[in-house]
Amino acid sequence: MAERFALEARGLTKRFGDTTALDALDLGVAAGEVVCLLGANGAGKTTTINLFLGFLQPDGGEARVHGVNVAEDPLHARRQVAYLPESVALYPRLTGLENLEFFDRLSGGGHSVTELTELLDRSGLPTNVVHRRTSTYSKGMRQKVGIAIAMARGARCLLLDEPLSGLDPSAAGSLCRSIGELRDAGSAVLMASHDIFRAKEIGTRIGIMMGGRLVNLLDAAALDASEIEAIYLEHMRVAEQGSPERAA
């Protein structure tokens, strides 16, 4: 039987000393879906992503990628995942195309230069910068190369940690279109963000996290951005009073 979720957290918990960074998270992301996690710094969004990547070991529960327990077989799990951090690290002396070619070869890909150039075009990278060193790139351009790297890998799952942070509206919109293309191609996408309006634009479901807990999970299509913002702010108000409640 096929797995219901491509990415799944089952009671996933992580503690750092006396601080519970993630508290018994239950969450699934299906193929062809984008789940956006909203929350302030320290809410548990990045911890969740790092547990799916195998960068951290859970103190309880499981993170699973297409049924594979990440803690038990991190290499197998990572082969199915592409990761886009807040700022993509590229080799500054290489061009955008050369960076993509390097990472494609590193992951065992065999795309031709023509195919890689087409992927950069699909990611939204302007044609006139493909052969420029990435030391001259804006943050938005580097993020687009990161998306092209994910496309080249044929990643079944995509983990995004604040990928829109610091981008101007045009660059953010372009990146969201590329994420949507990956979603429509069947990738499962889990994205951490502070941006309610972009989460509404790109997300299938929107999770609100407070203090390491998932306190609400919303159907993005059923609400407009102002309604999502009102729900988020109400959870913030309750959290500031010291009594956050887990949503039913």
Which CATH number characterizes residue 228's domain? 3.40.50.300
Angstrom distance (rounded) from CA 104 to CA 146: 11
Q: In the block, which residue shows the tokens 């951090």?
A: 85
Whole-angstrom Cα Rg for the chain? 18
Burial 104-116 (b: 16+ CB within 10 A, else e): beeeebebeeeeb
Is residue 65 within 8 A of residue 77, CB to CB? The reply is: yes
Strand partners, 236: none
Residue 47 Cα to chain centre, angstroms:
12
Residue 151 within a domain: no
Give the chain's end-to-end CA distance (angstroms, integer). Answer: 28
Residue 62 within a domain: yes
The domain tally of the chain equals: 1
SS3 226: helix
Is residue 12 within 8 A of residue 28, CB to CB? The reply is: no
Residue 134 within a domain: no
131 CB neighbour count, 10 Å cutoff: 11
Residue 213 within a domain: yes
SS3 188: strand
Is residue 196 within 8 A of residue 228, CB to CB? The reply is: yes
Angstrom distance (rounded) from CA 92 to CA 135: 4
Q: Is the dihedral of CA 99, 103, 106, 109 positive or negative?
A: negative
Is residue 164 within 8 A of residue 90, CB to CB? The reply is: no
> What is the tens place of the pLDDT at every residue in 52-94?
999 999 999 999 999 999 999 999 998 899 999 988 999 999 9
Can you give the pLDDT of all 248 residues of the chain as single tens digits? 456 899 999 999 999 999 999 999 999 999 999 999 999 888 999 999 999 999 999 999 999 999 999 999 999 998 899 999 988 999 999 999 999 999 999 888 889 999 999 999 988 899 999 999 999 999 999 999 999 998 898 888 999 999 888 888 888 888 898 899 889 989 999 999 988 999 999 999 999 999 999 999 999 999 999 999 999 999 988 887 765 444 43
Angstrom distance (rounded) from CA 16 to CA 167: 31
Is pTM beyond 0.85? Reply is yes
Residue 199 within a domain: yes
In the numeric block, which tokens belong to residue 60?
């309880």
Residue 168 within a domain: no
Beta-carbon contacts of 81 under 8 Å, excluding residues fewer than 6 positions away, are: 52, 53, 65, 155, 156, 157, 158, 159
Strand pairing category for 81-84 and 7-16: unpaired
Residue 47 within a domain: yes
Residue 42 within a domain: yes
The parent domain of residue 226 ranges over 1-80+188-248
Angstrom distance (rounded) from CA 196 to CA 14: 26
86 CB neighbour count, 10 Å cutoff: 15
